[in-house]
Chain A
């Protein structure tokens, strides 16, 4: 054994002992001496002007064209502006980077704000709007970042509707649409339509996912990956409401309860992603309060009419709607952090039909409807559900079990198939489910974003076979989000007309009618609209809970 490669065991023990002693000393020196670093410095404290926003996960990207995740959007909405923007806490629109916007026929004209600069000092002009558009949807553009980089929001928000974007001087832009499309201005207000800098697009390319350059109220300072922390600083030159805090730090705490505890102990100023248990912690806190608002979302159970023959009979769907105790699901299973749904949209979206009530629980009526439909002996189906909580369905498994026991009473045998969300989406996309839980959180607060996106099959009325109100998942051009495979031609015509009706009153009437049809035909069991909950520390003022377009942290002040 060559001597030079060995170390004596005594010297090793000495070394280990020495290291241990050194660490002990370091540990002693490290004891917090005063409140300067103990309880007081939990996070945003210390009297400094740093707002800490804690959420469930860190961001995946900082490029609004590279994401479909709400977690990412919370940050990009601070850094970027849109041409048209949502009013804080409302669903109506206001001027953003365009001071004037107008949609007439198939032409949108936008007058751009002058004197706005990007965080890198470049001036904002029409060229940035065109570059932003082309980078998102035009594979011919030399700076197009690739199909696997740009998100599906490219076509969803712009590409499917826009024919061409042209400029008239530096501060006027015309967007030519392929067809009349009423929600278009709202699409311009979506996070995905955030305006990027042409110079940054050309120079940074896909690096924009970690080095964002926008015109927003806050500019990007750094992303500390090991602390899951994104640091933004106030943009002193912001064209809108100037930020009242110096810095915003987005941080991630995976566990809901710990996040609420962090808020209570002063380690965070604002938290989101609050479940029933975390809501209790915040409610009981003397350091923070629970803020809630109506969400713009819907949770439902969809019947796959393309697969299960029994579901093609309206009476069966109605019977199940009467049998499922949505009141118990919302109040007991979801612990009241949601309200019952009677139609696809919540009451804060245009066209809500207040004449419709949730299907009352009525087992006798359900049995009668089933027997009329020829299913008095019941039948069986599989209910597919995701396992992890989603905002619109905070306890999917318990909710599924409630459905199972409710339907057992009317002789229908339900088997529950639980999956993780992503395989689950795959499953429902390809129409493998008999029935499934699903839900939706709005993109732009427009009724079209619910009705057309979730209940229109995407095919034309002529392609729906005569006397049938469903189509197969394999139909050319089928919209896989229509997991009920529902294709009611009257409904389809109504939402198609509403999509091209610009006069608000007339448009609203069409959606009220669409709600009636959906309620009567029951392609879904309408379950709930979840509330939006935030925990806000006592030293925070000016925080508006915005279910869409936010959070508006530039308006927040720290006492």
Chain B
């Protein structure tokens, strides 16, 4: 059981966390060298033109004035307008377009990770020290160790270039122009398919999703299966497992009914934390697979010194990470009611 108090307390904690992150990002950006006014004005601009842009943006004001203005805007949920990446467009609107892209990728990646990681870990634990176990463990180690910027292009080489089975990059074939409803392209195309009876865009979206989701999923799978294995190994040695077997219950039922659920508790924690990491890890995947989520957005914003966009994106990352962790804690206490006390 989870109390409303617990959730409320955790939600209130968001405020100082976000304040801290906001301050930190602001400080880092303003301490780092480079003048966004120069970027906006371009290489061709004269010093006078750059000065003019600086003045317009209020970059000449003392740093504490800029900080106060930033916080004041933040309280009213005004994250400002993008300087360069999406010139003059409110940061919130840019993020609204890009966030679902990353979320969708992370969700599918995590889904693949869970779907493969849990059974693999389970089998590995039950058949400890067998060939299957060794293979799974080596596979998991490789999954964690292989960098995405290496595995990504290799997968593209195999599935898109050599076998010609899947598209290389992007989220949907460029022939399709799908209206954005949720921003999750598989959902939007599915809705379109159901309403218009044309499932070709949906198939295209899914086939585009497979490779990047698999790349992210393999990494996630590796962590989950390792955790599942060690957690399960611990559980199978518990007294209640022996008791269950002693009273004549079959091995399969014992493992699934008594072992699995108990072993899941630490795994859920890993899944939760892992989801947060996936959001960040999406940066590489997005770059390799030409997907414009908030990962690539952040990199580009940092590259060109788009202050408002960097601040906004980092805040959203922080918010997501905290919320996911809150979700983990809540789930955790559902699985094991003792924890909430």
Binding site for B on A (CB under 8 A): 1-2, 5-9, 12-13, 20, 23-24, 26-27, 30-33, 36-46, 48, 50, 52, 54, 57-58, 60-61, 66-69, 146-149, 151-153, 155-156, 206, 209-210, 221-222, 224-229, 231, 249, 251-255, 257-259, 261-262, 264-267, 388, 419-423, 425-427, 429, 443, 453, 479-481
Residues of B close to A429: CB separation below 8 A? 38, 47, 50
A423 and B34 contact, CB distance less than 8 A:
yes
For A226, give its contact among B39, B101, B156 (CB under 8 Å).
Answer: B101
What is the CB-to-nearest-CB distance from A241 to chain B, in angstroms, rounded to a whole number?
A: 23
A422 and B305 contact, CB distance less than 8 A:
yes
A50 and B190 contact, CB distance less than 8 A:
no
Q: What would 4 more interface pairs be, CB under 8 Å, given A6-B2, A149-B88?
A: A36-B203, A40-B164, A42-B160, A423-B34
B153 and A148 contact, CB distance less than 8 A:
no
What 3 A-B pairs come out closest when comparing CB atoms? A68-B42, A253-B290, A423-B34
Q: Are A258 and B303 CB-contacts (below 8 A) given A44-B175, A52-B174, A265-B161?
A: no
Does B258 count as interface, using CB distance less than 8 angstroms? no
CB nearest to B38 among chain A residues: A426
CB nearest to B34 among chain A residues: A423
With A and B bound together, what is the CA distance between A358 and B221 in angstroms? 56
**SS class, residues of chain B in contact with chain A:** helix
Residues of A close to B100: CB separation below 8 A? 226
With A and B bound together, what is the CA distance between A425 and B138 in angstroms? 48
For A262, give its contact among B50, B169, B175 (CB under 8 Å).
Answer: B169
A422 and B167 contact, CB distance less than 8 A:
no
Residues of B close to A265: CB separation below 8 A? 156, 160-161, 164, 167-168
B45 and A258 contact, CB distance less than 8 A:
no
A30 and B186 contact, CB distance less than 8 A:
yes
What is the CB-to-nearest-CB distance from B276 to chain A, in angstroms, rounded to a whole number?
A: 19
CB nearest to A39 among chain B residues: B164
With A and B bound together, what is the CA distance between A480 and B177 in angstroms? 45
A253 and B169 contact, CB distance less than 8 A:
yes
With A and B bound together, what is the CA distance between A226 and B203 in angstroms? 18
Residues of B close to A257: CB separation below 8 A? 153
For A44, give its contact among B174, B296, B305 (CB under 8 Å).
Answer: B174
A39 and B166 contact, CB distance less than 8 A:
yes
Does B204 count as interface, using CB distance less than 8 angstroms? yes
What is the CB-to-nearest-CB distance from B194 to chain A, in angstroms, rounded to a whole number?
A: 11
What is the CB-to-nearest-CB distance from B259 to chain A, in angstroms, rounded to a whole number?
A: 16
B85 and A60 contact, CB distance less than 8 A:
yes
Residues of B close to A58: CB separation below 8 A? 292
Please report which residues of chain B, range 290-313, place their CB below 8 angstroms from some CB of chain A when the two chains form the complex: 290, 292, 296, 300, 303-305
Residues of A close to B39: CB separation below 8 A? 422, 425
For A60, give its contact among B47, B84, B305 (CB under 8 Å).
Answer: B84
B46 and A152 contact, CB distance less than 8 A:
yes
Residues of A close to B203: CB separation below 8 A? 30, 32-33, 36-37
Does B40 count as interface, using CB distance less than 8 angstroms? yes
Please report which residues of chain B, range 36-63, place their CB below 8 angstroms from some CB of chain A when the two chains form the complex: 36, 38-47, 49-50, 52-53, 56-57
With A and B bound together, what is the CA distance between A429 and B45 in angstroms? 10
B87 and A2 contact, CB distance less than 8 A:
no
A255 and B173 contact, CB distance less than 8 A:
no
Does B163 count as interface, using CB distance less than 8 angstroms? yes
Please report which residues of chain B, range 168-197, place their CB below 8 angstroms from some CB of chain A when the two chains form the complex: 168-175, 177, 180, 183, 185-186, 190
For B173, give its contact among A33, A41, A209, A443 (CB under 8 Å).
Answer: A41
For A43, give its contact among B38, B101, B167, B300 (CB under 8 Å).
Answer: B167
Does B144 count as interface, using CB distance less than 8 angstroms? no
CB nearest to B98 among chain A residues: A226
How many interface residues does chain B have, given as a range? 35 or more
With A and B bound together, what is the CA distance between A171 and B217 in angstroms? 62
**5 cross-chain CB contacts under 8 A:** A37-B173, A38-B165, A146-B56, A147-B56, A423-B35
CB nearest to B2 among chain A residues: A6
Of the 9-residue stretches B125-133, B232-240, B241-249, B331-339, which lies at the interface with chain A?
B331-339
For B152, give its contact among A5, A69, A258 (CB under 8 Å).
Answer: A258
Q: Are A259 and B87 CB-contacts (below 8 A) given A46-B175, A68-B43, A226-B292?
A: no
Q: Are A12 and B153 CB-contacts (below 8 A) given A58-B292, A225-B97?
A: no
B170 and A262 contact, CB distance less than 8 A:
yes
What is the CB-to-nearest-CB distance from A301 to chain B, in angstroms, rounded to a whole number?
A: 17
B4 and A2 contact, CB distance less than 8 A:
yes
Does B111 count as interface, using CB distance less than 8 angstroms? yes
With A and B bound together, what is the CA distance between A254 and B289 in angstroms? 8
Does B207 count as interface, using CB distance less than 8 angstroms? yes
What is the CB-to-nearest-CB distance from A245 to chain B, in angstroms, rounded to a whole number?
A: 12
Residues of A close to B292: CB separation below 8 A? 58, 225-228, 252
Q: 1/0 per residue B249-269: CB within 8 Å of A?
A: 000000000000000000000
Does B157 count as interface, using CB distance less than 8 angstroms? yes
B57 and A41 contact, CB distance less than 8 A:
no
B170 and A43 contact, CB distance less than 8 A:
yes
Does B11 count as interface, using CB distance less than 8 angstroms? no
For B207, give its contact among A38, A52, A420 (CB under 8 Å).
Answer: A38
Residues of B close to A12: CB separation below 8 A? 331, 334
What is the CB-to-nearest-CB distance from A27 to chain B, in angstroms, rounded to a whole number?
A: 8
A37 and B204 contact, CB distance less than 8 A:
yes
With A and B bound together, what is the CA distance between A152 and B200 in angstroms? 45
Residues of B close to A153: CB separation below 8 A? 42, 44
Residues of B close to A9: CB separation below 8 A? 1, 334-335, 337
B56 and A148 contact, CB distance less than 8 A:
yes
Please report which residues of chain B, range 58-100, place their CB below 8 angstroms from some CB of chain A when the two chains form the complex: 84-89, 94, 97-98, 100
What is the CB-to-nearest-CB distance from B22 to chain A, in angstroms, rounded to a whole number?
A: 23
With A and B bound together, what is the CA distance between A146 and B56 in angstroms? 9
With A and B bound together, what is the CA distance between A45 and B160 in angstroms? 14
For B47, give its contact among A2, A68, A421, A480 (CB under 8 Å).
Answer: A480
